[in-house]
Structure 1
Amino acid sequence: MQYFQKLTVVCLVIFSFVLSFNSLANEPKEIFWEDLIPKGHVQIDTQEQASHEGTEQNWVQPDLDAPVVKELNGQSVSLPGFVVPLEGDSEVITEFLLVPYFGACIHVPPPPPNQIVHVTIKGGVPIESLYDAIVVTGVINTETWSGEIAQVGYKMTAVGVAPFEL
């Protein structure tokens, strides 16, 4: 009888471990902008080059061949950033670009494609202030997208948007 009790305890421990592992696997991975740049790639720093004055050459998107991190494809992630609205109405935004700093693509040149995420969210999300940082959670894909504003290296189907808190 002791054998069956020990076997039951071992099975319960294994079952508990598997359940906790599965719940961790479903948690989105918190990533940051540097995680979107492959290791070893020397990224152009567009923030230092950005200027509100000068010629139109300041508005050209740099490094259009900037590589993406293919291992992120299909992963559930959370990424903080700023919104550049693309689609929606006065109440909600259903499509936007997520960028690493305020004003990217609007007031200063766009960053390289691997530093922009094209986001869609079914049903939309109210954005209280476009000046505030947010955190977007969803499934990220290494797909390109091009629009009038910029070329993008990642797409995300969002499931949630929240204010960014330090």
Structure 2
Amino acid sequence: MQFFQKFAVLATLLLCTGAYAGPPKEIFWEDLIPKGHVQIDTQAQANHEGSEQNWVQPDLDAPVVKELDGQSVSLPGFVVPLEGDSEVITEFLLVPYFGACIHVPPPPPNQIVHVTIKGGVPIESLYDAIVVTGVISTETWSGEIAQVGYKMKAVGVAPFEL
């Protein structure tokens, strides 16, 4: 009986994640920048002193990689919560480094992913990197914090392991 329960859980996970078509493609932040595009390094430019200009999001026209649209991917990063409660979050920005959009200027839009996850997910610490798995799209999103170049409907979130 235990075998059939495990099989049912595995089959459900495979169908929900689209894994029946193969595992999600593991991508990294540089994969979100089209080949040949010279990206502005906002992390190197950021400092906590000086003018308001320091907090303006750069390169709002940064291009996205259109070939990623509709693909099942996994991407590591850090969470900037948008919606949820003290238990779980249902909507967040995934960013390449801790503090992006909060403590330093936001990265260009092609370096931010707007993530939604049905039912929410607990996030233990915003200081810890996670890996988000889901279907990515090249749909834009704008909020008070930043303009975003990608959206993702997540099916899973896990701690990032080196």
TM-score range relative to shorter protein: 0.7 to 0.9
Shift of 1:25: 3.5
Q: How does 1:1-166 map to 2 (within 5 A)?
A: 25-166=21-162
Q: TM-score, normalised by structure 1?
A: 0.85
Give, in whole Å, the separation in 1 of the partners of 2:117 and 2:19.
24
Say which is worse superposed, 23-32 or 151-160, in terms of deviation: 23-32
> In the alignment, residue 122 of structure 1 is paired with which amino acid?
K
Uncovered stretches (5+) of structure 2, i.e. residues with no partner: 1-17
Give, in whole Å, the separation in 2 of the partners of 1:104 and 1:138.
22
Kindly, what percent of the aligned residue pairs are identical? 92
Uncovered stretches (5+) of structure 1, i.e. residues with no partner: 1-21
- Determine helix, strand or coil for the equivalent of 2:74: strand
Detail structure 1 runs of 4+ shifted over 4 Å in the superposition: none
Let me know the Cα RMSD of the aligned residues: 1.2
> In the alignment, residue 78 of structure 1 is paired with which amino acid?
S
> In the alignment, residue 97 of structure 1 is paired with which amino acid?
L
> In the alignment, residue 84 of structure 1 is paired with which amino acid?
V
Give, in whole Å, the separation in 1 of the partners of 2:32 and 2:23.
19
Shift of 1:148: 0.1
Aligned to 1:8: none
Aligned residues: 145
Aligned to 1:6: none
Give, in whole Å, the separation in 2 of the partners of 1:152 and 1:26.
28
Q: TM-score, normalised by structure 2?
A: 0.88
Give, in whole Å, the separation in 1 of the partners of 2:92 and 2:20.
29
